[in-house]
Amino acid sequence: MSTLIVINPNSSQTVTDGIDKALNPLRSFGIPIRCLTLAEGPPGIENQRQADLNIAPMLALAAAQEDAAGYVIACFGDPGLHALRDQTALPVVGIQEAAVMTALTLGQRFGVIAILPASIPRHLRAFGAMGVLNRLAGDRALGLGVADLADEGKSLAAMIATGKRLRYEDGANVLIMGCAGMARYREPLQEATGLPVVEPTQAAVSMALGQIRLSLSHKSTGPEHAG
Amino acid sequence: MSTLIVINPNSSQTVTDGIDKALNPLRSFGIPIRCLTLAEGPPGIENQRQADLNIAPMLALAAAQEDAAGYVIACFGDPGLHALRDQTALPVVGIQEAAVMTALTLGQRFGVIAILPASIPRHLRAFGAMGVLNRLAGDRALGLGVADLADEGKSLAAMIATGKRLRYEDGANVLIMGCAGMARYREPLQEATGLPVVEPTQAAVSMALGQIRLSLSHKSTGPEHAG
Amino acid sequence: MSTLIVINPNSSQTVTDGIDKALNPLRSFGIPIRCLTLAEGPPGIENQRQADLNIAPMLALAAAQEDAAGYVIACFGDPGLHALRDQTALPVVGIQEAAVMTALTLGQRFGVIAILPASIPRHLRAFGAMGVLNRLAGDRALGLGVADLADEGKSLAAMIATGKRLRYEDGANVLIMGCAGMARYREPLQEATGLPVVEPTQAAVSMALGQIRLSLSHKSTGPEHAG
Amino acid sequence: MSTLIVINPNSSQTVTDGIDKALNPLRSFGIPIRCLTLAEGPPGIENQRQADLNIAPMLALAAAQEDAAGYVIACFGDPGLHALRDQTALPVVGIQEAAVMTALTLGQRFGVIAILPASIPRHLRAFGAMGVLNRLAGDRALGLGVADLADEGKSLAAMIATGKRLRYEDGANVLIMGCAGMARYREPLQEATGLPVVEPTQAAVSMALGQIRLSLSHKSTGPEHAG
Amino acid sequence: MSTLIVINPNSSQTVTDGIDKALNPLRSFGIPIRCLTLAEGPPGIENQRQADLNIAPMLALAAAQEDAAGYVIACFGDPGLHALRDQTALPVVGIQEAAVMTALTLGQRFGVIAILPASIPRHLRAFGAMGVLNRLAGDRALGLGVADLADEGKSLAAMIATGKRLRYEDGANVLIMGCAGMARYREPLQEATGLPVVEPTQAAVSMALGQIRLSLSHKSTGPEHAG
Amino acid sequence: MSTLIVINPNSSQTVTDGIDKALNPLRSFGIPIRCLTLAEGPPGIENQRQADLNIAPMLALAAAQEDAAGYVIACFGDPGLHALRDQTALPVVGIQEAAVMTALTLGQRFGVIAILPASIPRHLRAFGAMGVLNRLAGDRALGLGVADLADEGKSLAAMIATGKRLRYEDGANVLIMGCAGMARYREPLQEATGLPVVEPTQAAVSMALGQIRLSLSHKSTGPEHAG
């Protein structure tokens, strides 16, 4: 039976396990979901260079999944999203794009919790390409060092503080977690900030399952013009 | 078991039946879906006045569904969307909003097939409120009279002609059907235009099912400010 | 002699009286102005649901004014604006829309003083539909409870504090009062903040009188397409 | 009694006379209106250079009107609008700005009839500065030579043809005449195109009279910052 | 003496030679310019997948140039632009970005001549990320097959026809050639269309030389937040 | 040999000398550069009125330079930019426009350091006309009085403080100095803020030299339409 393939393009099995667990509620939809770790990836993707260098092995891993019914690229930043759409006619959903589209139905202005400051310009380029900057309340980094990110308590506290700033200083009424593999923080973050929180892999898998069931997919040809 | 309620806010049972049938692929997701016709509605909603006058009975009908797990308002234009969100904490999805958010993941510029010219300014106001006008390729009316709309052959031909203009003249690479109850045309339209076609009730129900399963919902409180 | 009808869609006669008094300077323009209270309305409109539920009685009240030369809907949020335009060929002006269009001629970035936080997403949807978000400096709520709003001194102090934040923190150079019936605060607010302040019913009535005199009115038909 | 000063910044008395006549309906508002011709101006303003060179004598003419209650600059393009606002604390309205703000209350997308193609980039810069490009349907030149512009029949025919293209090809639902002094064409243009037509000097004078009566005016100080 | 490195990320030496020749006028600025062909690249980059797969070897080639004073990535689409900025602190200019920034100083609305229709959505994403869509008049493909592209006469004729459509149908007042290596068509295209034409490698090298001389360069750290 | 003419449209020779010195690195490009002071100008341009009144003498000064190969207008605000483009077919670059276009290649969001608060609305109108507001992080005034501006230490300290606020509060990742003649502060500002800093006369001269060498120039005719 064909399967939704979720690719974590970093090499951290812990992250993949976190994603896998976050998707449990969606398994009742009846379409198998398989989460893969990209062995060739870095432990975490921290800049555009790392993101871009991962595309080649990610495309190869995707191509090797013979039972694929569709794909989710599980890295906020959606590296290789359009490349994979050029490679396959199956549905391909990026977690950043899906998180934004989901958030836009849950509040007028969305706030993004970025793990690292260096991600923010990358996010802004993506939101500009999506054409949704008028809906952005703010994008704020956690302000944690790498060591602190491994500490669940510190991470959650920083997420809550960041989420509150996005709400009270920037005017967000929905939050997006700007990272895969952190779904375990979603509920406490929601409670502490009083805002709906979109976990991007959940949002993306939910959209992908619908597209698979409805036989909806991009076409990789362009229009004759635009203006 | 709690159920997704889909409300067709016009009084046409034929339209409701069309919607109901279009949702069959999504019934395998395991959440019951019930489609309701708004008896108080007009046979079809043709302008903002009719849309607004329908909100009160629609809200009452929604409130009466005790097993509701969430709602879809199945009228392109999303009348009463935010009013219903004020009334309930359950997920509420509008078909226009969901169709746009889905289309944005399937092509860079979306084209809309409007049934009547008078709907177009209403659509533009909505797309402006959504902040997605940079992604709009065009919004074109079928150019059919009411009598012709009852004729399936003429309707499909007009949809295909309109879809082709949206592709070749306006540069659309994904199409949205600007009306509920016409899912039977989706596949032939897709084939004839070579573009993915989003049927809005399918898009909305797919999003609503995901939000129900993931316990995602708007909050009806505002932020302290925005800027 | 035909008359400009100003409808306060809430049931507070005090608010209507405040509006009526605010319009005195414009009575010298020679067109009669009649201010009506919507008996069926709530004491105040606090969310989109209340706003939408008011449209039906507001439309009926409007239709019953046989000497109407035009209409102003005197609720920030412009509930039923386009519905009333569908109902009549006479000029119809909403106070939110008119306040924004007036403010755009008085300063490069406008700030909005919202009564309640929950109004802000509604405002943002409206400003997005108007296409003027690039001109918005900020939209801030007074931060008062309902009891405090009845206290003139507290209300004015909160307006001034909010207006100053809009000027000094958000960069506004013109302010809009996001509510009808508060014209008595306009002058002290202007003096305290050093910015021009637009009172929305004055702005709307001024525009409506000009449109009546110039025989300018919307048409309720749509274009054939847009893109 | 203080007077609204309308300055035609070109040297054509015929244009000034046309403006003066167009304002007759607004004289019943009770505020005197005086239309002036700028003797130093060229017969018509055809590019940005001519527009800019006119600012100095226009400012001098404005300063010399001792009974001024406010000003309207009656050249589409609004040359010297902000300079005059720097010079005086009285209300100053430009006809381009006022025409756009008025049109935005009459239809979702506005079309502009430009006299000369070279004006269009100037218009687009102004609409960009106003932040209203999302509401622009199109801006089209008449396609007439200078000789033909003197021929009323040819001018009207070209305006109607241009207005129809703006409606049917570009999707406009309100039209703006991109020139002062042509109010006599407004009614036939309205009838022939089926769209409301905004004559910019009427729109500006109407706004200016309201601002005078309401003591509304810009402030020429800037904000501390913007972002 | 340190050198500006221009990398053609496809494997066609003919294209590189065309680029090299186009840069001759800029050699008088006194900074050496070296044009490299990416041996690992495809003969031409036709979609996002090919663009992305080229980034890894392009980064390696860039890193190997020990005398580099700065880089230009000579593929319209700017593949790897931000990745290379992550890799080096030297100035890095993409030809698409530079062509757009240059065109914005030469005309109010720019038109793009795309080689293939499939490139247009990629361009639109980039223009959205750049935030310049309000300045785009249109983006049109040549409509030639690969065989015809090798025919200089047919290519030039198609460019001129496309350029004229961008001018007369879409309202462009400056044109961008959406491809590297075609500078030889710039002058005839300029003459035939009556519009300034930006050749993107010339625009990029010109900007890069200025940035090198002025010691201007990006920083690869992000801000703490954005909103 | 033909020469790039840089016009400082205020009468301060000190400012002109500062500009002249700032351009030294670009003299190696081999095109002579001549910096002129506008004797008729005020000591500094502080508002739109002063800017506009300067256009006539600036155009005359420009016209008198017989060996001109192109022009740079060296006042942030670009007064007379389009007027001079109407007057000559040679390249004309404004320092504001060039600074923005350069900054857009160096960081995702730019911050502007304004000398006076009153300049900010003028900047915003210009950025709106350029269509780049989505890339603006913030625009902040120094907060110095005229006397303090003459004090180099105080000026630099205020610039650094303002630059840091633009970075840390507004999220800028590139800075623009909103004034000519202050190039001496560029390097310390860059070091203290950790961001690239664009000095606008350098940016403009760099672009102008490229346009001269590449025979690139605007055309002063308009398009037939826009939409």
Residue D47 lies in a domain: yes
Is the Cβ pair E128, B107 closer than 8 Å?
A: no
Of E108, E73, E101, the residue nearest E88 (C-alpha):
E73
Of C61, C20, C170, C194, the residue nearest C109 (C-alpha):
C170
Instruction: Please write the tens of the pLDDT for every residue from F202-212.
Output: 999 999 999 99
**What residues in D contact B121, CB-CB < 8 Å?**
107-109, 173
Average pLDDT of the segment spanning F9-26: 96
Instruction: Please write the tens of the pLDDT for every residue from B70-103.
Output: 999 999 999 999 999 999 999 999 999 999 999 9
Give yes or no for residue C227 having a pLDDT over 80: no
The CATH number assigned to the domain holding C36 equals 3.40.50.12500
- Report how many Cβ contacts below 8 Å link chain E to chain F: 163
Distance CA C69, CA D54 (A): 41
Give yes or no for residue D108 having a pLDDT over 80: yes
Evaluated on CA atoms C23, C24, C29, C33, the torsion sign reads positive
B154 and B184 in a single domain? The answer is yes
Closest alpha carbon within chain C to A172? C121
Average pLDDT of the segment spanning D174-194: 96
Give yes or no for residue A12 having a pLDDT over 60: yes
What is the percent of chain C with per-residue pLDDT over 70, rounded to a whole number? 97
Lowest mean pLDDT among B29-33, D204-208, F178-182: F178-182
Query: Please, what is the average pLDDT of chain F?
Result: 95
Is the Cβ pair C139, B83 closer than 8 Å?
A: no
**What residues in F contact E97, CB-CB < 8 Å?**
104-105
Closest alpha carbon within chain A to C124? A108
Is the Cβ pair B139, C224 closer than 8 Å?
A: no
Closest alpha carbon within chain F to A119? F108
Is the Cβ pair C203, D210 closer than 8 Å?
A: yes
C20 and C39 in a single domain? The answer is yes
Is the Cβ pair C222, B130 closer than 8 Å?
A: no
Lowest mean pLDDT among A102-106, D64-68, F148-152: F148-152
Residues of F within an 8 Å Cβ radius of C: 120-121, 124-125, 128, 133
* pLDDT tens per residue across all 227 residues of chain B: 799 999 999 999 999 999 999 999 999 999 999 999 999 999 888 899 999 999 999 999 999 999 999 999 999 999 999 999 999 999 999 999 999 999 999 999 999 999 999 999 999 999 999 999 999 999 999 989 878 888 999 999 999 999 999 999 999 999 999 999 999 999 999 999 999 999 999 999 999 999 999 999 997 555 667 76
**What residues in E contact B171, CB-CB < 8 Å?**
120
Which among B25, B174, B213 is the nearest to A25, CB-wise? B213
Residues of F within an 8 Å Cβ radius of A: 107-109, 134, 171, 173
Instruction: Provide the pLDDT for residue D161.
Output: 98
Instruction: Provide the pLDDT for residue E220.
Output: 58
Q: How confident is the model at residue E72 (pLDDT cuts 50, 70, 90)?
A: very high
Q: Which chains touch A (3 or more CB pairs under 8 A)?
A: B, C, E, F
Is the Cβ pair D209, C210 closer than 8 Å?
A: yes
D207 and D191 in a single domain? The answer is no
Is the Cβ pair B207, A206 closer than 8 Å?
A: yes
**What residues in B contact E124, CB-CB < 8 Å?**
108-109
Instruction: Provide the pLDDT for residue F94.
Output: 98
- Distance linking the first and last C-alpha atoms of chain B: 43
A128 and A184 in a single domain? The answer is yes
Of D114, D181, D104, D174, the residue nearest D143 (C-alpha):
D114
Is the Cβ pair D222, C173 closer than 8 Å?
A: yes
Which among B125, B137, B143 is the nearest to C227, CB-wise? B137
Place of tokens 């919902």: B217
Average pLDDT of the segment spanning A47-52: 95
Q: Mutation test of the interface with chain C: which of D214, D221, D225, choosing the one with the most C Cβ atoms within 10 A?
A: D214
Rg over alpha carbons for chain F, rounded to the nearest Å, is 17
A175 and A207 in a single domain? The answer is no
Output the DSSP codes for E75-124: STT-TTHHHHHHH-SS-EEEHHHHHHHHHTTT-SSEEEEESSTTHHHHHH
Instruction: Provide the pLDDT for residue A222.
Output: 57
Instruction: Provide the pLDDT for residue F219.
Output: 79
Residue E140 lies in a domain: yes
Q: Mutation test of the interface with chain B: which of A100, A214, A217, choosing the one with the most B Cβ atoms within 10 A?
A: A214
C156 and C125 in a single domain? The answer is yes
Residue B184 lies in a domain: yes
A135 and A189 in a single domain? The answer is yes
Residues of D within an 8 Å Cβ radius of E: 120-121, 124-125, 128, 133
Residue type, E221: T
Instruction: Please write the tens of the pLDDT for every residue from C63-103.
Output: 999 999 999 999 999 999 999 999 999 999 999 999 999 99
Closest alpha carbon within chain C to F139? C171
Nearest Cα of chain D lies from the Cα of C113 at a distance, in angstroms, of: 17
Instruction: Please write the tens of the pLDDT for every residue from E114-141.
Output: 999 999 999 999 999 999 999 999 999 9
Instruction: Provide the pLDDT for residue C44.
Output: 87
Instruction: Provide the pLDDT for residue F145.
Output: 81
Beta-carbon-side half-sphere exposure of residue C208 (alpha carbons within 13 Å): 35
Q: Mutation test of the interface with chain F: which of D45, D47, D49, choosing the one with the most F Cβ atoms within 10 A?
A: D49
Give yes or no for residue E221 having a pLDDT over 70: no
Residue F221 lies in a domain: no
Instruction: Please write the tens of the pLDDT for every residue from C150-205.
Output: 899 999 999 999 999 999 999 999 999 999 999 999 999 999 999 999 999 999 99
Instruction: Please write the tens of the pLDDT for every residue from C118-143.
Output: 999 999 999 999 999 999 999 999 98
Distance CA D83, CA D63 (A): 12
Three-state secondary-structure class, residue D92? strand
Residue B60 lies in a domain: yes
Q: How confident is the model at residue D227 (pLDDT cuts 50, 70, 90)?
A: low
- The tokens describing D77, both together, are 């393009």
Give yes or no for residue F109 having a pLDDT over 90: yes
Three-state secondary-structure class, residue B151? coil
Q: How confident is the model at residue F51 (pLDDT cuts 50, 70, 90)?
A: very high
Give yes or no for residue E223 having a pLDDT over 70: no
Closest alpha carbon within chain D to C26? D213
Q: Which chains touch E (3 or more CB pairs under 8 A)?
A: A, B, D, F
Is the Cβ pair C222, B121 closer than 8 Å?
A: yes
Instruction: Provide the pLDDT for residue B46.
Output: 87
Evaluated on CA atoms E26, E27, E31, E36, the torsion sign reads positive
Instruction: Please write the tens of the pLDDT for every residue from F31-42.
Output: 999 999 999 999
Structural domain span for residue B64: 3-94+202-213
Q: How confident is the model at residue D126 (pLDDT cuts 50, 70, 90)?
A: very high
Distance CA F170, CA C186 (A): 31
Residue F222 lies in a domain: no
Closest alpha carbon within chain D to C175? D218
Distance CA C59, CA C54 (A): 9
Distance CA A186, CA B61 (A): 33
A135 and A48 in a single domain? The answer is no
**What residues in C contact D137, CB-CB < 8 Å?**
223, 226
Is the Cβ pair F198, E221 closer than 8 Å?
A: no
Q: Which chains touch D (3 or more CB pairs under 8 A)?
A: B, C, E, F
**What residues in C contact B116, CB-CB < 8 Å?**
222
Which among E80, E129, E139 is the nearest to A52, CB-wise? E80
C65 and C125 in a single domain? The answer is no
Instruction: Please write the tens of the pLDDT for every residue from A147-166.
Output: 888 899 999 999 999 999 99
Which among F29, F207, F209 is the nearest to E105, CB-wise? F207
Distance CA F23, CA F127 (A): 25
Give yes or no for residue C216 having a pLDDT over 80: yes
Q: Which ipTM did the prediction report?
A: 0.96
Residue C224 lies in a domain: no
Closest alpha carbon within chain A to E49? A83
Distance CA D124, CA C67 (A): 41
Nearest Cα of chain F lies from the Cα of C122 at a distance, in angstroms, of: 22
D58 and D103 in a single domain? The answer is no
Confidence (pTM): 0.96
Residue A107 · residue B85 · CB < 8 Å: no
A51 and A15 in a single domain? The answer is yes
Is the Cβ pair F55, D53 closer than 8 Å?
A: yes
Average pLDDT of the segment spanning A110-136: 96
Instruction: Please write the tens of the pLDDT for every residue from D213-226.
Output: 999 999 755 565 77
Instruction: Provide the pLDDT for residue D8.
Output: 97
Distance CA A159, CA A114 (A): 9
Is the Cβ pair E194, F227 closer than 8 Å?
A: no
Q: Which chains touch F (3 or more CB pairs under 8 A)?
A: A, C, D, E
- Report how many Cβ contacts below 8 Å link chain C to chain D: 164
Give yes or no for residue C214 having a pLDDT over 60: yes
Residue B57 lies in a domain: yes
Helix (H) or strand (E) holding D35: strand D33-37
D67 and D117 in a single domain? The answer is no
Number of structural domains (chain E) is 2
**What residues in A contact C116, CB-CB < 8 Å?**
none
Residues of B within an 8 Å Cβ radius of D: 120-121, 124-125, 128, 133
The CATH number assigned to the domain holding A194 equals 3.40.50.1860
Average pLDDT of the segment spanning F122-130: 98
Nearest Cα of chain F lies from the Cα of A138 at a distance, in angstroms, of: 10
**What residues in E contact D133, CB-CB < 8 Å?**
134
Q: How confident is the model at residue A146 (pLDDT cuts 50, 70, 90)?
A: confident
Is the Cβ pair F121, C108 closer than 8 Å?
A: yes
Query: Please, what is the average pLDDT of chain E?
Result: 95
Which among D107, D134, D173 is the nearest to B133, CB-wise? D134
**What residues in A contact E121, CB-CB < 8 Å?**
222-223, 226
Average pLDDT of the segment spanning E163-168: 96
Give yes or no for residue E145 having a pLDDT over 90: no
**What residues in C contact D32, CB-CB < 8 Å?**
none
